[in-house]
């Protein structure tokens, strides 16, 4: 027992995760499923072969792995997929992870979604402390939306966005710029998003996974998109940095913020603070590299976290300086795994 003049020593916190380039890893993206209820033409093959359910980590194992990362300094978790909200009992994982928000160990719990299930889940997500989400949406044209997603219903997604906003969740729209598909409506989408108080980010096509078409036919450099936007809008560069890939401007005519994610025309890796965990327990240190650590084996080898923590630390020691996406080398794909495997 500590006497009145004695002060208990502060608990020793584990060392944070620092990569070889002295970047602190504070952001973990977790793909909870490779399945999706859409088949977006730039993301998936129409006849996708998904992982057998037996290969997936359980929700309890995903929770345990997240705890290991939080203990080592991760402050932000993003749940992704595939489409994360199609995984059975997914709200059980959100309920478990929300305890880290309550304790203060975690700054943010968020997700990226296609919006198809938002009307159903938005109120509970808000109750569990989800304050903002990203919704992937590439067009406001119902016919074009159906063509891009191969099976989606735009009205359902828009209703989901409205449900999230009504629940008090801040929504950001992510749109992939597609040559000859949506390039003529980007400016109008910005006006729509900003008119509802939503930020928007434009993303270049990324060469992950084999698809039916040629991604060079889809690729629209955002330098071209930006030049076109400047004929309608005044773009003021912003110093905002989140450790992520986006570079931001303010659209003076709308007052809203627009981000540009340019993996092909401008490498965005210098301040990368993130790693990605797949639904099978593979940890990818870089979206654009194939090197991965098998955390599932370490997780299941022991009931305590010593082995998996060791595996995480060793993996971070191999994190590369940056990716090497090159659209000209994207035939059939610069990286063979689909985005839905790693998490968008």
Residue 172 is assigned to a ligand binding site: yes
99 assigned to a ligand binding site: no
What DSSP assignment string belongs to 202-264? EE----BS--SS-HHHHB--HHHHHHHHTTTS-EEE-----SSS-EEEEETTT--EEEEE-TT
Other beta carbons less than 10 A from residue 191's beta carbon = 16
- Find out whether 112 and 133 touch, Cβ atoms under 8 Å: yes
| 174 SS3 class | strand
**CA end-to-end distance (rounded Å), the chain:** 51
How many helices and strands in the chain, by DSSP H and E? 11, 12
How far apart are alpha carbons 340 and 46 in whole angstroms? 13
Q: Is 66 annotated as a binding residue?
A: no
Shortest CA distance to 69 belongs to which of 271, 270, 276, 344? 276
Query: Which structure tokens are listed for 312?
Result: 């995480």
Residue 301, token pair as written in the block: 């080898």
Does the annotation place 272 within a ligand binding site? Answer: yes
104 vs 106: CA distance, rounded Å = 5
Find how far residue 249's CA is from the centre of its chain. Answer: 20
Six-digit token pair at 66? Answer: 């997240």
DSSP class of residue 331?
S
CB 103 within 8 Å of CB 71 = no
Structure-token match 């629209």, residue found: 220
Q: Is 42 annotated as a binding residue?
A: yes
Check whether 279 is labelled as a binding-site residue.
no
Tell whether 269 is in a known binding site: yes
3-state helix, strand, coil in the chain (%, to 5): 30, 20, 50
Report yes or no: 323 and 270 within 8 Å, Cβ to Cβ. Answer: no
Residue 206 annotated as lining a ligand binding site: yes
52: DSSP letter: P
The verdict on whether residue 139 carries a ligand-binding annotation is: no
Q: How many residues does the chain have?
A: 344
Q: Which residues are annotated as a binding site?
A: 29, 36, 40, 42-43, 78, 82, 112, 136, 172, 206, 269, 272, 274-276, 286
Q: Which residues are annotated as a binding site for GTP?
A: 29, 78, 112, 172, 274-276
Q: Which residues are annotated as a binding site for S-adenosyl-L-methionine?
A: 42, 82, 136, 206
Q: Which residues are annotated as a binding site for [4Fe-4S] cluster?
A: 36, 40, 43, 269, 272, 286
């Amino acid at each position: 027992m500590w006497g009145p003049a004695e002060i208990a020593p502060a608990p020793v916190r584990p060392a944070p995760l620092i990569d070889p380039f002295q970047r602190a890893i504070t952001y973990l993206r977790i793909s909870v499923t490779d399945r999706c209820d859409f088949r977006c033409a730039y993301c998936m093959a129409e006849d996708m072969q998904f992982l057998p359910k037996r290969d997936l980590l359980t929700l309890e194992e995903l929770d345990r792995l997240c705890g290991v990362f939080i203990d080592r300094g991760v402050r932000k978790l993003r749940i992704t997929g595939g489409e994360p909200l199609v995984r059975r009992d997914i709200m059980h994982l959100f309920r478990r992870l929300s305890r880290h928000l309550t304790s203060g160990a975690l700054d943010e719990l968020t997700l990226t979604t296609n919006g198809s299930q938002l009307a159903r889940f938005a109120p509970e997500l808000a109750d569990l402390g989800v304050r903002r989400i990203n919704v992937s949406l590439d067009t406001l044209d119902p016919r074009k939306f159906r063509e891009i997603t191969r099976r989606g219903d735009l009205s359902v997604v828009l209703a989901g966005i409205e449900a999230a906003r009504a629940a008090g969740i801040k929504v950001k729209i992510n749109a992939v710029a597609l040559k000859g598909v949506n390039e003529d409506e980007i400016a109008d989408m910005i006006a729509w998003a900003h008119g509802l108080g939503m930020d928007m980010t434009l993303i270049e096509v990324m060469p992950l996974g084999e698809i039916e078409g040629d991604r060079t036919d889809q690729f629209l450099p955002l330098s071209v998109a930006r030049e076109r936007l400047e004929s309608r809008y005044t773009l003021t560069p912003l110093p905002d940095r989140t450790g992520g890939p986006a570079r931001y401007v303010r659209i003076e005519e709308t007052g809203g913020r627009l981000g540009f994610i340019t993996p092909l025309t401008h490498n965005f890796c210098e301040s990368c603070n993130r790693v990605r965990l797949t639904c099978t327990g593979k940890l990818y240190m870089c979206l654009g590299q194939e090197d991965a650590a098998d955390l599932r084996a370490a997780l299941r080898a022991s009931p305590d976290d010593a082995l998996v923590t060791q595996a995480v630390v060793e993996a971070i020691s191999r994190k590369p300086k940056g990716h090497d996406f090159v659209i000209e080398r994207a035939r059939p794909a610069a990286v063979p795994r689909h985005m839905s495997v790693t998490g968008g």
